[in-house]
Structure formats: structure tokens, C-alpha cells
Chain A
Amino acid sequence: MSANPASRWGLRFLGLGYLTLLLLIPLVMIFYKTFEDGIGPPLDAVTSPDGLHALKLSLLMVVIAVPLNTIFGIGCALLLVRRKSRFNPVIDAVINLPFAVSPVVIGLSLFLLYGIGGWFAFISEEGFKILFAVPGMVLASIFVSLPFVVRETVPVLQEIGTDQEQAASTLGANGWQTFWKVTLPSIRWGVAYGVVLTTARVLGEFGAVTIVSGSISGQTQTLPLFVEKQYQNFNQTGAYGASLVLALLALITLFAMNLLKRKEDA
């Protein structure tokens, strides 16, 4: 860019100002509010049985939804990029649905499907509880975070092309060996970024999970639901404390990826 210094500084100021006002100040405020009365009250809230249970449940969602969506996402990206078919545009559009549809609507649709009178209501009737229980929350989490790995992997797959895979096959590698030794290592940063986004989305999901879980304290409450409950009960310090834990988890995820990447580049 050959813009003059004044406009360059102007742009920087505008960009940074925008980020500060909309992202940084609100986050700093939470930090400040949390520790307004010292470390005690927020710590108590977060380490209360309900708080710990919410944290555990949030992590459980991550542990189940992230690997499933990663495997699905890589497979789907391979299908979209490497196997040309006339159904691809349809698949592509369907994958974007969770981005387009409000999480509340997603929650409601699960409710219609698995609730009384729904097509899959028989599963609950057999004694395997889905709604107001962990399985329903897992389903909602998978649904809302489904597109990330696909979306991040597709462009990387397109960019690396098929030359390396073809080279591997002429060298005697079968499809599986080619995938593990050539394709996956080549797309790993795309996948990793998709995993980070999926994790963040699952951790933060509120709308869809609220509806299917019923938000029962100590049973079906993830951290965001716990935050909301605390806030509604006028326990603002507890709400801020739990929010901070959520923010920290997100930071750890990002930091872990950076660390891996730095190790790789070294």
C-alpha cells in the first residue's frame, strides 16, 4: 500500500479503536468486575458443586463433540474437494445450515424430533433419555459446531492440490497410507484451526443447549447456562467468575495451538 502516513495512521487508529470499544473494553470490564471484591467470592461461586459440575459438563461436551466433528469435517471436506459430484453444492449448502439458522431454532427442532410425538420419541420411551439430559445437549453442541472443520479444511485441501497424493500413490502408497502420511500432515493447520473454532463454539454454546437441556442446576447446566442462572439470581460476582473461566478456557485453546505451531516451525 502506498497510502500517505496520515491516512495510514488514521486507518490504524480506526481499526484499533473499533476493536477496543467493541471487544477489549467489555472483556476487561468482566475481569475488573470479577475481582472487585477480591478473589474470594468469584472463586466460591466457580468452585461450588453446581459450578464445578457445569465446568465438567462443558468439558464433556468438548470431549465428545470436537472429535466427532473433526472426523466428520475432514471426511466431508475430502468428499467435497476430491470427489466431484453433482450433489456437492447441496452438501455444501446443508453444511452451512448451522451458521444460517439461529441456535434457538436448532434447539427447538431437536425438541420436535426427540420430544413427545416426535419421530425419534421412541428412543426416550425405551428409557434412553435424550431431552433434558446429556445426550440431547451433545446433539445440540455437535449441530451448532458442525461447519467449522469443514470450512477451514476445504480451502487448504484445494490449495495443496492432488500432486502430492498422486506422487504417493505412484510410490506404492494405498489410499489410507496416502491420507495419513501425505494428506493429513499437509492440511493439519487448517484442521487445527477448525478444531479451535469448534472447541470455542461448543464451550460458548447457549441457545440450542438451553432449550434441550432445561438448564437444571447440577445436572444439565453447562458453563454458559450456569453464568446465566447466576446472573438471573443476582449473583453477579458468580456470573462474572464463571465467565472468566470460559474466557480462560478459550485462551488456553488458542495458546495450545500457537504452541504447537511454534514447535512445528522451529
Chain B
Amino acid sequence: MGISVEGANKRFGDFQALDDVSIEVPDGSLTALLGPSGSGKSTLLRAIAGLEDLDSGQVTINGEDATGKPAQKRGVGFVFQHYAAFKHMTVYDNVAFGLKIRKWKKPETSKRVHELLQLVQLDGLAGRFPSQLSGGQRQRMALARALAVEPKVLLLDEPFGALDAKVRKDLRTWLRRLHEEMHVTTIFVTHDQEEAMDVAGQLVVMNEGRVEQSGTADDLYEHPANEFVMSFVGEVNQLGEHFVRPHDMEIVLDPDDRTQEGLVQRIVSLGFEIRVELVLSDGTEVWAQLTRAELQRLELREGQIAYLRPIQAKSFNGSSPSGHGASTPHGSNDGGDAEIPAAV
């Protein structure tokens, strides 16, 4: 059950959008496809919906082979980044569209549409046209429209991408709650790791048409499979072959055999969190995340020399990452303190 894609390949001219991609999305889960632009995440989503034909590979929705089926027969709800509102129809008619296609009777349609408008908090705006709604309202209308036909799965393509930060935050909280109520298998595409971690239980990280890793937010953050995942999911400093999270960088004033010397270039206060930017003797620029209390204890000033001690570091030795969705990093020093030579 749920959604599964196996060995999906898709080429646009010279561009390999999907390169042997396989994913499993459990029934009733809320999964994020996360990756930079051009990573193939939208193409994968559109292939699941039937809006894009695969060159090869198989799509299974709720145990049923959907490969080659047209979008209209797949029973998916799709929400587009730019809403795809039917501009010439009222909010009511937009939401009722799928029901009219299915030849629902008027009273039932009306009842269902008003239920949905209540769910997305748009009751009272049924007679408006999309041009009279805000971006957030339009996207909620699009969601109601997709949900009206009781889709087997719900697919959202960067649903909050065109909205401003505040609305985006509200909507993602709201989407999470909605999912908790409805339990329809949902995949949503985003390039924003914070959004993915905030909303989704499961994450699939994509890059250059391939799946780099999948797992929960904690899995990806604590046990990244490779350099890409580590740097895409969270902030990272590179020290030679080692990768260190800024909050795993300790700053001390007395050197020892595990510290590296650095010049404090800038101290940026971001409220509770303090960002200390240093340049090492070899010119590498790194930053450490400190609390306000730590900074006060150290009495750090810009322009002074301090010493860095990585508490936890990872290295991804060996060749490029292989194995799709592998959750164990190659040759990692995962979990323990890494030995980082003082001179890199």
C-alpha cells in the first residue's frame, strides 16, 4: 500500500531528470521530497501523478500498477506551486469541479463543497473569484479542490513556494494538522529543509536525479549518508575531509593537541544564538554556533585568536555515494569524537 516507484528514469533532451529512482512511501504517511532545484523532485512527483511519462520504471499507487495510466484515472489530488486556480470560476465552482466531472447531484455537491471550504477556512468566500483571494487563500482553495474527490494520495508540488514567510509557516502547521486528521498518503516537494523537517515524518533527499538518502529528519541529520545530505540537511563546516556542524564546534581559549587556531572575524548575534565566524591558518572559513552565555563566558572579541575543538565530526571517505536510500554513512566516525589533526 502507499506509493512506490521503482527504477524510474526520465530524460529531457540531454538532461537526466530522474536516474534510476526508487522510493517507498508508506500508506498514510506524510513524506517530503527534498532537494535543490533541478534535483528531479518535481519530475518524480509529476510522474507519480501521471503528468509526466517515465522513460522506464514503475509507479504503484495503493498496490495498483499506475504506470502508463493517464492522470485523470490515477485518483491523485495534485496541488501546484502557482495554485493552478480555474480563474474563470468562483471558489465554489473550483472546489466542485471534480465532483461535477463525476456527475454528483447538486445537493450532495453543495454539501461536500461547503464541508471542504470549512475545513480550509474559506467558508464565506465561496462566491469569490480566485483573483479576489490572497496567495494563501488560493492555495487553500486548491487544496480543497484536490481533496474534494477523495484522492487515494495527495501530491503537493512546492505548495508554499510562492507565499511569503509568515503565511508559509502558518500553512505548513496547518497542513500537518490536516494530515493528522485525514491520514491520506501525502507527498510534498520542497527545497526548504526546515520546511521538510517541520512538516514531514519521512524525508527523501534528492540530488541530480538520484535519491541520496531517505529516512526521518533525525536519521538524516544524525546519520547523513554522504557529504551532500549532510550539507543540505543543516549547516556544515568542512575541515579537510571532516564535516562538522556549527553547534558541534567548541571554542576554547587554551590550545591543546585537538584544537585548531583561528582568528575571530565576526561575531553575529541572532537573538539567542550567536554566530562566530573564524578563519583558520590555512584560510578556511568556518563558523561556530554558540549560546549567549557561552559567548559571555569566553569574552570573545572580533580580531582575537581562539581555538576550535570539534566535538563531533564526520567524514565520507571513499568514492561517491552509492546505494539509494542507504542510511549508514561510508566510513563515518559517527557518534564519537573525531580525531582531527591540529594542522590540516
Q: Which residues of A contact B (CB under 8 A)?
A: 163-164, 166-174, 177, 181-182, 185-186
Contact = CB atoms under 8 A, between A and B. Distances in A.
B84 A167 contact: yes
B82 A163 contact: yes
B66 interface: no
Interface in B113-132: none
B221 interface: no
Contact of B72 (A163, A170, A185): A170
Given A166-B71, A172-B149, A173-B72, 5 more contacts: A167-B86, A168-B97, A169-B70, A170-B71, A172-B98
A166 B149 contact: no
Nearest to B148: A171
A266 to B, nearest CB: 12
Q: Which of A169, A170, A174, A177 has the most CB of B within 10 A?
A: A170
B101 interface: yes
A168 B86 CA distance: 9
Closest 5 CB pairs of A and B: A163-B84, A171-B98, A167-B84, A170-B78, A169-B71
B88 A169 contact: no
Contacts of A177: 101
A171 B97 contact: yes
Interface string B135-168: 0000000100110010000000000000000000
A163 B80 contact: yes
A167 B80 contact: yes
Contact of B102 (A164, A167, A172): A172
Interface in B36-55: 49-51
Contacts of B85: 164
A179 B102 CA distance: 16
B86 A164 contact: yes
B87 interface: yes
A178 to B, nearest CB: 9
A163 B138 CA distance: 14
Q: Which of A166, A168, A171, A186 has the most CB of B within 10 A?
A: A171
A185 to B, nearest CB: 4
Interface string B281-305: 0000000000000000000000000
A163 B71 CA distance: 13
A170 B88 contact: no
A163 B97 CA distance: 15
B233 interface: no
B76 interface: yes
Contacts of B246: none
Contacts of A169: 50-51, 70-72
Interface string B75-100: 01110101111111100000001100
B86 A170 contact: no
23 contacts: A163-B82, A163-B83, A164-B84, A164-B86, A164-B87, A166-B51, A166-B78, A166-B80, A166-B84, A168-B97, A169-B70, A169-B72, A170-B74, A170-B76, A170-B77, A171-B97, A171-B98, A171-B145, A172-B101, A177-B101, A181-B97, A185-B88, A186-B87
Contacts of A186: 87-88
Nearest to A264: B88
